[in-house]
Chain A
Amino acid sequence: MSAALLLLTDGRFPAGGHAHSGGAEAAVAEGRITGAATLAEFCRGRLHTTGLVAAALAAAAAAGADLLALDDAADARTPSPALRTVSRRLGRQLLRAARAAWPAAVLDQLAADRPRGAHQPVVLGATARAAGLTPLDAARAAAYESAGSPATATVRLLGLDPFQAAAVLARLAPEVDAVADAATAAAHRARTEGTGALPAASAPLLDVSAERHAAWPTRLFTS
């Protein structure tokens, strides 16, 4: 495990994640997250759908796959325009931080190719590569983030005991690792088979509630 990975996944790394709840704000409002148990199930569901897809895109990007093809693949896997906008915006924010932390031509090129932002997992993978990390590292970072973001947000949204939130994530850790392994294997297959070999696990309820959340007049989190 490289310290660069710790930095990349550190909640203090200035890449904009703190203002996003990973769907938790909508789920809390709709009564689907009410405490530690439902938070754990929410994180699990998100990890195995959104998280798996993000982890595979990140692993493929870290393995040196064509970033723009991955960006197209991310678009096709994100039917919600609210979530596409969020992903590209977070991608832009991460790229800004990444270019300061690990300057690399590949990051400059991505910024030039996608001035409005590339999808966040694609940027995450490219950043991992620039930081000398492996595809598995990138997959772990993306998979962890998919569960970590709703957990952190729920502490603020429900006043959930932060120790309980930490315990939720700790218990999920083996599944995060397993998702990262599966994502990395898929990224490897995509080298020969193309982006169609990457997972496309969908989460239709998250899509619907993301659109609903984006239409709220007032909210605490951007997504």
Chain B
Amino acid sequence: MHQDHPEIFPQRHTMSVPGGHRALRVGLGGPVGSGKTATVAALCRTLRDEVSIGVVTNDIYTREDADFLLRQAVLAPDRIVAVETGACPHTAIRDDISANLEAVEELEERVGPLDLVLLESGGDNLTATFSKGLVDVQMFVIDVAGGDDIPRKGGPGVTMSDLLVVNKVDLAVHVGADLDRMAADAAAQRGGLPTVFTSVARGQGVAPVADWIRERLAESTAGAA
């Protein structure tokens, strides 16, 4: 094991958690209101009986995301931590990740070893992505109501995220969004990286996202062995 190698494990800049078992950290970024919190809630419900989960929210001004998750009782309250971002959500997930790292370690100290930590970014713009020092993989959540030209516009979130989630497909008919065009644009922008279409708060659920996370979990367990 070469867990101390900074290139392989930039996350080694920990304070207190010794090496060994380490949770898979998944970032969820994307514009305001696209359905990040709804996705986190649905993922928790789907996966909580399979793996031990913790959630870190980066609310912009309110504690709404954390409170929503608490109200929905998707996890025990001690598995949800909120981080304040000083009006700069992208700074907290990219340029200065120290508060989020603290939050992850606080979770692990509080509830013991976790398998999966979901980190939700505060809603931001199309350029906001997570640092590799903070998450292992990240998904970018957009919705059809935000305009079906977002995949074409690109930006780091759309082009570089490990998974692009196009949410609220149930609204496509109402807002006149062309899903085929979104799929084609995404494929062109992402050079082989996967894109899924969901309606996490409605019928067509979070299953494709959950399946993708299961694959990442399997990979990380195999990689650590």
Contact = CB atoms under 8 A, between A and B. Distances in A.
Direct touch of chains A and B (CB < 8 A) = yes
Nearest to A115: B16
Contacts of A221: 84, 86-87
Contacts of B62: 218
Instruction: Give the interface size class of chain A.
Output: 20 to 34
A191 interface: no
B61 A218 contact: yes
A217 B60 CA distance: 13
Interface stretch (B41-49, B95-103, B143-151, B177-185): B95-103
Contacts of A218: 61-63
B15 interface: yes
Given A221-B84, A221-B86, A19 B99 contact: yes
A22 to B, nearest CB: 11
Contact of B102 (A20, A93, A100, A153): A93
A119 interface: no
Contacts of A9: none
A219 B84 contact: yes
Interface string A199-223: 0000000000000000001111110
Instruction: Give the interface size class of chain B.
Output: 20 to 34
A92 B100 CA distance: 12
Contacts of B95: 12, 14, 18
Contacts of B102: 16, 89, 92-93
A16 B84 contact: no
Interface string A1-28: 0000000000010111111110000000
B92 A19 contact: yes
A97 B84 contact: no
Given A93-B98, A218-B63, A153 B86 contact: yes
A222 B98 CA distance: 13
A219 B85 CA distance: 9
Interface string B41-70: 000000000000000000011110000000
A39 interface: no
Nearest to A90: B98
B96 A96 contact: no
A115 B14 CA distance: 11
Contacts of B61: 218-220
A97 B98 contact: yes
Nearest to A223: B84
Contacts of A77: none
Given A19-B99, A89-B102, A220-B61, A95 B15 contact: yes
Contact of A111 (B15, B83, B88, B96): B15
Interface of A: 12, 14-21, 89, 92-97, 99-100, 111, 115, 117, 153, 156-157, 217-222
Interface of B: 13-16, 60-63, 83-88, 91-92, 95-99, 101-102
